[in-house]
């Protein structure tokens, strides 16, 4: 698309993996009036600062991709940080958006909102039907609150605030910290370091048996823009006022063992894969039902094997530019 589109769009969390992908996709589709602020310029947990920003900028659309994220270790170690920071960011941005008369907002949640033993694949109506996975419950509670904030502002004020729930994401811009990263970047780093040291084995947390679904981040960004721009009359036929979130997934899942083998191929290093069963597995399976979004006309484009190759190229580029160190991404 060469036509330049003019609505002012604020992308919260533009330096993160999802936010940066949303900006890439917006620009590729012709959107040019995009507003961003880094953490030093705007602390989204500071209500006064957020209100001032919205009063000045007056965006027409908001993509709320800002979040404190991390893997099992980080969620277990810093639960207060995860629930407090995420709830404050969501509440401040959504309330300030309403006060400054932003009519359209898209909130990005997470598939961890669904119960630990939810029927697979997990459909939108599984929300709040059972107990959450304990290892990331605070983060999940914050994301559920974000959905309910959007729905409540829609019901009370007549705005159009939408929510999407992605499956596990990976790709350019991911966090490769040795302890605080998600499973794919953690495995990429492990296999790369084994390749560099010519180690004969790689140790992976957990049993290797849990199944996970993975979606390439640029596909997720494309889905966000698709949902944001769906005519309300069409969207309303597929959602209800108190169950308005939409799942965004790839459509199939893999075991962590099979994922480890796929990452070894992408990295180009084959060795023994051993699993540390003393470490927590998390939910036994996470695979979301994306039928609703597929029926609306969206499907992913990137398969896992090709996506892992691109993710590894991103990791290598960060090494070259000095953004990977012993403590992770700088």
* C-alpha to C-alpha distance for 52 and 49, rounded to whole angstroms: 5
Instruction: List b or e across 39-48, with b for residues whose CB sees 16 or more CB atoms inside 10 angstroms.
Output: eeeeebbeee
Give the active site residues: 139
| The predicted structure's pLDDT at residue 6 | 83
* C-alpha to C-alpha distance for 37 and 11, rounded to whole angstroms: 8
172-196 average pLDDT score? 89
182-207 average pLDDT score? 94
Percent of the chain with pLDDT over 70: 96
* C-alpha to C-alpha distance for 248 and 299, rounded to whole angstroms: 9
Q: What angle do CA 182, 19, 181 make, to 5 degrees?
A: 15
303-321 average pLDDT score? 95
Which residues have C-beta within 8 Å of that of residue 188, sequence separation ≥ 6?
A: 176, 263, 266, 267, 308, 311, 312, 315
323 pLDDT above the threshold of 80: no
pLDDT band at 70 (very low <50, low <70, confident <90, very high): confident
276-298 average pLDDT score? 91
Place of tokens 């994220």: 69
| The predicted structure's pLDDT at residue 264 | 97
pLDDT band at 2 (very low <50, low <70, confident <90, very high): very low
* C-alpha to C-alpha distance for 253 and 174, rounded to whole angstroms: 20
pLDDT band at 273 (very low <50, low <70, confident <90, very high): very high
DSSP 8-class letter at 5? B
pLDDT band at 116 (very low <50, low <70, confident <90, very high): confident
For 21-42, the pLDDT digits (tens) are 999 999 999 999 999 999 999 9
Neighbours of 33 (CB within 10 A): 14
* C-alpha to C-alpha distance for 166 and 175, rounded to whole angstroms: 17
| The predicted structure's pLDDT at residue 3 | 58
pLDDT band at 325 (very low <50, low <70, confident <90, very high): low
* C-alpha to C-alpha distance for 164 and 168, rounded to whole angstroms: 13
pLDDT band at 1 (very low <50, low <70, confident <90, very high): very low
- Write out the DSSP string of 272-326: EEEEETTS---SSEE-B--HHHHHHT------HHHHHHHHHHHHHHHHHTT-EET
| The predicted structure's pLDDT at residue 4 | 63
* C-alpha to C-alpha distance for 100 and 98, rounded to whole angstroms: 5
| The predicted structure's pLDDT at residue 178 | 72
pLDDT band at 330 (very low <50, low <70, confident <90, very high): very low
* C-alpha to C-alpha distance for 64 and 106, rounded to whole angstroms: 6
| The predicted structure's pLDDT at residue 44 | 98
90-110 average pLDDT score? 97
Identify which of 154, 174, 218, 153 has the alpha carbon closest to the alpha carbon of residue 69: 174
Provide the phi-psi class of 130: left if phi over 0, else alpha when psi is between -120 and 50, else beta: beta
For 216-269, the pLDDT digits (tens) are 999 999 999 999 999 999 999 999 999 999 999 999 999 999 999 999 999 999
CATH topology of domain 9-329: Rossmann fold (3.40.50)
Question: In degrees to the nearest 10, what's the CA dihedral of 217, 184, 114, 229?
Answer: 0
* C-alpha to C-alpha distance for 145 and 5, rounded to whole angstroms: 32
- The domain locations on the chain are 9-329
301 pLDDT above the threshold of 50: yes
* C-alpha to C-alpha distance for 81 and 138, rounded to whole angstroms: 9
* C-alpha to C-alpha distance for 212 and 8, rounded to whole angstroms: 36
103 pLDDT above the threshold of 80: yes
């Amino acid at each position: 698309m060469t036509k330049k589109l003019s609505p002012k769009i604020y992308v919260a969390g533009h330096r993160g993996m999802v936010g940066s992908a949303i900006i890439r996709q917006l620009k590729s589709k012709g959107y040019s009036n995009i507003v961003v602020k880094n953490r030093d310029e705007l602390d989204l947990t500071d209500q006064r600062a957020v209100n001032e920003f919205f009063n000045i900028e007056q965006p027409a659309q908001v993509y709320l991709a800002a979040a404190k994220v991390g893997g099992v270790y980080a969620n277990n170690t810093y639960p207060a940080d995860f629930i407090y920071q995420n709830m404050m960011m969501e509440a401040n941005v959504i309330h300030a958006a309403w006060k400054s008369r932003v009519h359209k907002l898209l909130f990005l949640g997470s598939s961890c909102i669904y119960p630990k033993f939810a029927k697979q694949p997990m459909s939108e109506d599984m929300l709040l039907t059972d107990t959450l996975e304990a290892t990331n419950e605070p983060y999940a509670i914050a994301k559920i609150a974000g959905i309910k904030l959007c729905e409540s502002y829609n019901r009370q004020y007549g705005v159009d605030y939408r929510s999407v729930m992605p499956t596990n994401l990976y790709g350019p811009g991911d966090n490769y910290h040795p302890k605080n990263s998600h499973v794919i970047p953690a495995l990429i780093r492990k296999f790369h370091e084994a390749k560099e040291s010519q180690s004969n084995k790689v140790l992976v947390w957990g049993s290797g048996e849990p199944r996970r679904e993975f979606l390439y981040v640029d596909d997720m960004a494309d889905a966000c823009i698709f949902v944001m721009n769906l005519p309300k009359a069409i969207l309303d036929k597929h959602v209800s006022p108190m169950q308005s979130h939409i799942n965004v997934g790839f459509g199939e899942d893999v075991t962590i063992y099979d994922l480890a083998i796929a990452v070894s191929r992408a990295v180009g290093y084959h060795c023994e894969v051993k699993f540390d069963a003393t470490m927590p597995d998390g939910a036994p399976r996470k695979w979301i039902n994306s039928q609703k979004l597929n029926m609306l006309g969206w499907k992913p484009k990137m398969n896992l094997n090709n996506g892992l190759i691109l993710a590894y190229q991103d990791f290598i580029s960060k090494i070259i530019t000095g953004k990977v160190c012993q403590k992770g991404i700088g």
